[in-house]
Each structure stands twice: as structure tokens, then as C-alpha cells.
């Protein structure tokens, strides 16, 4: 009976201990933090604890942050790197494959460690994300190691932090900053590759139905903007027009397909398609197409487009200005001046009025307004 009672007391004690861990601030005042950013379509998230300098200037790097690999006197690791923060593992997660300092790292969540050296530190991305600090670090669990050079900062950073810097559409530099040292590393993604992989998946799911033709057109437009994967873009453009469930033959879908055909050198097909598209366009859509033709030095074709727009939308400021530009581009300054003077009283706002007045002045001098 006494043995049973003792076992019950032990069980009760363990139970109390198990359920007594209330949420409290981290020991030593170290602050829990999370920072993240999207690079292209890749989400990068870092969870870490922020130790403070706390008056230990000059004793952080090489002391609190031990150099290289060390036996910390606890746990299983006899050659542990620094935990790159405080308390439990610092973790960094990537939603897609990335490149770290030019080396490939698959999508996933990793513990982040640093073997510090003032001249060249080793950054370690470990598959084990659940350990406490680096006391149980195991080299066999490394997913990637890269070497970077620490940078000296002008101003001291009291609380350790991670910061995203030097962002581009497909990259960012992440810098660990503490006291007067920063350890930066560059993260890059293969943006177009990831975008197209995402499009292919999404266009086989609910995005292919809602918002319908817009999704296929958006994917097709991306191939135009990036001037890549045009054959695939042409298929998406065709689906945006002809898909039996969501296809829609309108100015946007037709002009998108025409743009791809033009980039592929199929100019006759592109021009024929635009003749179908233009009558379906809004006043602004037709006007912008006319401006595009002027940019491409197709002044005669532009004049026909602007004439059609004016016929559909007579005596509108936009269409009158279109004719002004088109006649001017064709060297007919007299006709251009006529339409500019008609547009002048319809101009809204000081900026628009000034622009028309400037055009009128140039046309009177026999100068092109484009």
C-alpha cells in the first residue's frame, strides 16, 4: 500500500510539473522575434531570440559568440557552432527552393547556426530545427554550409536582429546584426521558373474558373512582359479566348494574343487579330493602342486607329488628342492643329490645359508634338 501511495505521489508531482509551464518572458530578458519578407513569390521567415549587449561592448564577438566550433560542456555536441541568437534554435524557413550565396537549398525549415570567424564565418543550415541552441548540433544533419565575410558596423546594435536589405525582384540580403558586426548572406530565387511552375498549378485548379479568362490572360501577359515562354503564353492566350467554360473574345484577350504573335515574328497574324480587337475596345483601350503604334513608328496605322476611336467616341478630349498626335506624326500639322484647338476647351485641370497649349504652340511653328 505504501508503494502504491508513493507511486501516486510521484505521478502527481510529474503531472503538476507537466502542466505548470505557463507562458513567461524568455530568461535573461532575451526577446523573441520573427521577421519575414517575400522575395518574388517566395516567403522567407526567421524566428529567433534577441540577446542584448547589456554593457558588454567589445566582449560579444569572439567571447559571448565563441569562435568556430566549441565544446559547450552540455549536450551531445563536442564541436558546436553558435546558435545565431539566444535560447532555442534560430530557424529560417523558405517556401520554395532558394540559393544561398549561390548554392541551392531546397524549400523547407532549417535551424541556422554560425561558426564565427572575423575573417570568414561559416553559415550552417541544419535539418534539425527542434533542438535547444546548438548543444545537440550534429554535422550529419547539415543541409548546407556557406562562407561569408563579417562586416563592421558604424553604430552599435543593442539587441541582436535580422534585417532584409538590398532587395531586388528576385533577391535580398539578410543581415544578422549585433553590437558592431553584421553577418550578411544573399538569398536568391529563380523567379521566372517559380512563377511558371505556380501558373501551371493554379491554371489547373480553381483559378482556371475564377476569375476565368483573366487568369489565362494574366499568365499570357507575363510571358510578354518577360519575353520568355512565348509558345506556352500563346496557349494560355488561346484559352483565355476560346476555352469553352471561361473563354472571352474581347479587346484584352485578343490584343494579348496579338502581342505574343508579334513577339514571335508573326506580324501579319498579329495585325489581323488587332483589326478584330480594336472595335471591341473601350475609348481608353483604343487610345492606348494608338499610342503604342506611334511609339513603334507606325504612324499611318495609328491614324486609322485614332480615326476609328473618334468615330465611336466623337468630340471627347481623349479622341481629339489622339487625332492631334496622329496627324502630327504623319506631318499634317494643319489637321493636327485643328483637333488640338477643338480639344483645348475640353481639357480638365491645369496640367492638361497647359499640355494642350504647348502642343498648339508647337503645331503653329510646324513642329511635331510627339
Per-10-residue mean pLDDT for the chain, 370 residues long?
44 44 66 95 97 94 96 95 95 98 98 98 97 95 98 96 97 98 98 96 81 92 97 97 94 98 96 96 97 96 96 96 97 96 95 95 96
Q: Say if residues 198 and 41 touch (Cβ distance below 8 Å).
A: yes
The verdict on 172 and 203 lying in the same domain is no
For residue 121, is it within any domain?
yes
The verdict on 209 and 347 lying in the same domain is yes
Cell of 213: 479568362
For residue 6, is it within any domain?
no
d(CA 265, CA 269): 9
Q: Which of 189, 212, 235 is the last residue of a domain?
A: 189
For residue 17, is it within any domain?
no
Rg of the Cα atoms in the chain: 32
pLDDT for residue 12: 40
pLDDT for residue 289: 96
The count of structural domains within the chain is 2
Q: What is the pTM of this model?
A: 0.82
- Cα distances (Å, whole numbers) of residue 196 to 52, 65, 223: 44, 43, 9
The verdict on 175 and 245 lying in the same domain is no
pLDDT for residue 25: 64
Q: Which of 127, 154, 189 is the last residue of a domain?
A: 189
E-strand stretches of 116-203: 121-126, 142-148, 151-168, 171-188
The verdict on 240 and 215 lying in the same domain is yes
Q: Which of 189, 209, 239 is the last residue of a domain?
A: 189
Structural domain boundaries enclosing 62? 26-189
The verdict on 115 and 254 lying in the same domain is no
Q: Say if residues 57 and 100 touch (Cβ distance below 8 Å).
A: no
pLDDT for residue 15: 46
CB atoms within 10 A of CB 284: 11
pLDDT for residue 21: 67
The verdict on 211 and 71 lying in the same domain is no
To which residue does cell 506580324 refer? 267
Cα separation of the two ends of the chain: 102
pLDDT for residue 24: 65
The verdict on 72 and 112 lying in the same domain is yes
The verdict on 150 and 216 lying in the same domain is no
The verdict on 156 and 211 lying in the same domain is no
Amino acid at each position: 500500500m505504501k508503494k502504491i501511495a508513493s507511486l501516486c505521489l510521484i505521478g502527481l508531482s510529474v503531472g503538476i510539473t507537466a502542466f505548470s509551464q505557463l507562458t513567461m518572458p524568455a530568461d535573461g530578458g532575451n526577446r523573441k522575434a520573427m521577421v519575414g519578407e517575400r522575395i518574388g513569390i517566395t516567403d522567407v521567415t526567421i524566428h529567433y531570440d534577441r540577446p542584448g549587449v547589456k554593457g558588454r561592448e567589445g566582449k560579444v564577438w569572439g567571447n559571448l559568440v565563441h569562435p568556430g566550433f566549441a565544446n559547450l560542456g552540455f549536450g551531445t555536441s563536442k564541436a558546436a557552432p553558435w546558435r545565431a541568437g539566444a535560447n532555442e534554435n534560430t530557424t529560417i524557413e523558405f517556401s520554395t527552393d532558394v540559393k544561398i550565396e549561390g548554392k541551392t537549398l531546397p524549400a523547407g525549415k532549417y535551424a541556422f547556426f554560425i561558426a564565427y570567424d572575423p575573417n570568414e564565418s561559416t553559415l550552417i543550415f541544419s535539418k534539425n530545427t527542434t533542438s535547444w541552441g546548438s548543444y545537440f548540433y550534429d554535422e550529419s544533419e547539415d543541409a548546407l554550409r556557406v562562407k561569408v565575410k563579417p562586416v563592421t558596423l558604424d553604430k552599435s546594435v543593442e539587441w541582436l536582429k535580422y534585417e532584409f536589405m538590398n532587395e531586388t525582384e528576385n533577391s535580398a540580403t539578410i543581415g544578422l546584426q549585433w553590437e558592431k558586426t553584421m553577418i550578411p548572406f544573399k538569398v536568391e530565387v529563380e523567379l521566372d521558373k517559380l512563377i511558371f511552375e505556380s501558373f501551371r498549378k493554379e491554371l489547373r485548379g480553381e483559378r482556371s474558373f475564377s476569375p476565368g479568362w483573366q487568369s489565362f490572360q494574366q499568365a499570357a501577359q507575363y510571358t510578354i512582359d518577360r519575353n520568355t515562354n512565348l509558345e506556352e503564353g500563346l496557349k494560355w492566350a488561346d484559352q483565355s479566348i476560346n476555352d469553352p467554360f471561361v473563354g472571352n473574345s474581347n479587346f484584352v484577350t485578343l490584343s494579348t494574343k496579338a502581342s505574343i504573335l508579334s513577339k514571335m515574328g508573326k506580324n501579319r497574324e498579329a495585325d489581323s487579330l488587332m483589326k478584330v480587337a480594336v472595335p471591341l475596345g473601350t475609348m481608353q483601350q483604343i487610345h492606348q493602342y494608338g499610342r503604342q503604334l506611334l511609339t513603334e513608328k507606325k504612324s499611318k496605322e495609328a491614324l486609322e486607329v485614332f480615326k476609328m476611336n473618334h468615330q465611336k467616341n466623337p468630340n471627347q478630349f481623349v479622341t481629339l488628342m489622339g487625332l492631334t498626335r496622329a496627324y502630327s506624326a504623319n506631318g499634317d500639322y494643319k489637321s493636327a492643329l485643328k483637333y488640338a484647338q477643338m480639344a483645348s476647351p475640353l481639357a480638365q485641370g491645369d496640367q492638361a490645359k497647359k499640355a494642350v497649349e504647348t502642343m498648339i504652340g508647337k503645331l503653329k511653328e510646324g513642329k511635331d508634338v510627339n
